[in-house]
Amino acid sequence: MSEAVIESRRALSQWLLWLESLHPTEIELGLERIRQVADRLKLIGFGSVFGTHVVTVSGTNGKGSSIAALEAIYVDAGYKVGAYTSPHLVHYNERIRINGKTVSDKALLESFEVVDAARQGISLTYFEFGTLAALYLFKHFKTEKCEKSTPLDIILLEVGLGGRLDAVNIVDADVALITSIGIDHQDWLGETREDIGFEKAGIMRRGQGVVIGESHVPNTVLAHAKKLGLAPFIQGQHFWEHSEKAGQSWDWFGSDKASNKLVMRGLPSGGLLRENLASVLQVCQLIPLAVSRKNLEIGLSARVEGRQECVEGEPVHVFDVAHNADALKELARYLALNPVLGDTYAVFGMLADKRVIDILPPLATHVDHWITCALPVKRTIHQTALAQMVMRLKLKLSGSFSSPGEAYQHALALASGRDRILVFGSFYTVSAVKQAMLNQRH
């Protein structure tokens, strides 16, 4: 690694540390502060002004996977594509990608300086600041052959938390995708699916295409769509997926923008949930950018780091950022379909807003040894509290540690070559263990 690269990485780390302390709270929902700064940066309405198609994705699970598939489709088709997702696993740059590649430290540093100058004393959260930096980079994208900014063809934006009051919602998208609505982040979004659905539905706009990736849609979502004069494309009604058997090719049934029926048969079975892929295919019908069957198959085969990610070895490693009831049920299904000869050692840490005692049971029959850890953030559940919940569920506790790295080293010491190490519970858990693995290699 060159001195210049080391220096830019150090400078970026200093910026990120400063951003963590810029605002008095880690999360503060609301658009007033970020909208003021975005207005100064001329980012309000930038999608329509510059001829760029924008897709905003909200939902409880499947947001990152859906964006990964859409990104792969349009990059393969040769379009200029911007994608913004969060959180990151190892490097902050992972959050902002242009044409499938993470942005450079240099580009990030320049965008941070521009956003900071535009703040003029307005306090922004870490996520708000980063969202403005991403939008600025998308707006001012330049190709290698042209010094002048070149409009991107499509921008894919993942909502951070909720929708209605999330920083990403300062952008008016052409298409809104709501992947699923489950119980999560109740402290900010409400206790019921109806409450949470209302927040997720906040990304909708009049005249917009809307795709909803589940069949049991909360009434609050439907009511908000009706209020805006929208006719959403709903999974199970307007589009769906079908296959005779898991692991085999599958068929998609959907509609074009004019509600004409469409069918695609023999689609490849990739690593992402078919319900999400079915939604992605429906979104593609609402965007006036031509894509081929090959482009679609590339997207359907996309994989996402940290989502049912299997790393072969002895022992096998599985990484999954699953941290709510629906995601843990899906993780349990994955473990059942992919057994190992030996035991499974689970390394997990979770944030304090998770009701662990209620959401952990689906994994009980698939994990043999449980190792708890605290996470490197204030909102963590203490490792001892997690250990007590494991014992209350009458599961086998094999260790309790103050960091994911220590917990992972303990799992490595216990596991044999025939075993599996499962790392789950939070982006922070997966990120810390992946960082520990990188450090070991170097």
Output the pLDDT for position 50.
64
pLDDT band, residue 215 (cuts 50/70/90): very high
Among 105, 106, 136, which residue's Cα sits nearest to residue 119? 136
Output the pLDDT for position 164.
93
d(CA 141, CA 360): 44
Task: Tell me the mean pLDDT in the region 87-98.
Answer: 95
Beta bridge partners of 157: 56, 84
Among 327, 393, 334, 381, which residue's Cα sits nearest to residue 353? 381
Q: Helices 63-76 and 293-300 meet at what angle, rounded to 10? A: 150
Residue-range domains of the chain with CATH: 43-103+129-300 (3.40.1190.10), 309-441 (3.90.190.20)
Paired tokens of 370: 């449980």
Distances in Å between the Cα of 181 and the Cα atoms of 58, 75, 108, 253, 285 are 9, 28, 32, 22, 23
Beta bridge partners of 55: 156, 175
CB 142, CB 110: distance < 8 Å: no
For residue 2, pLDDT over 70 is answered with no
How does pLDDT run across 142-156, given as a tens digit for each residue?
766 666 778 899 999
CB 165, CB 31: distance < 8 Å: yes
Q: What region, left, alpha or beta, does residue 344 occupy, with left being phi > 0 and alpha being psi -120 to 50 degrees?
A: beta
Residue-by-residue DSSP string for 213-224? --SS--HHHHHH
How does pLDDT run across 26-73, given as a tens digit for each residue?
888 889 999 999 999 999 876 666 679 999 999 999 999 999 999 999
d(CA 19, CA 22): 5
Output the pLDDT for position 26.
80
How does pLDDT run across 256-314, given as a tens digit for each residue?
999 899 999 999 987 788 999 999 999 999 999 999 999 999 999 998 999 999 999 99
For residue 190, pLDDT over 80 is answered with yes
Output the pLDDT for position 440.
78
Paired tokens of 74: 């349009």
Among 225, 136, 174, which residue's Cα sits nearest to residue 56? 174
d(CA 385, CA 374): 9
Q: What are phi and psi of 432, to 5 degrees?
A: -65, -40
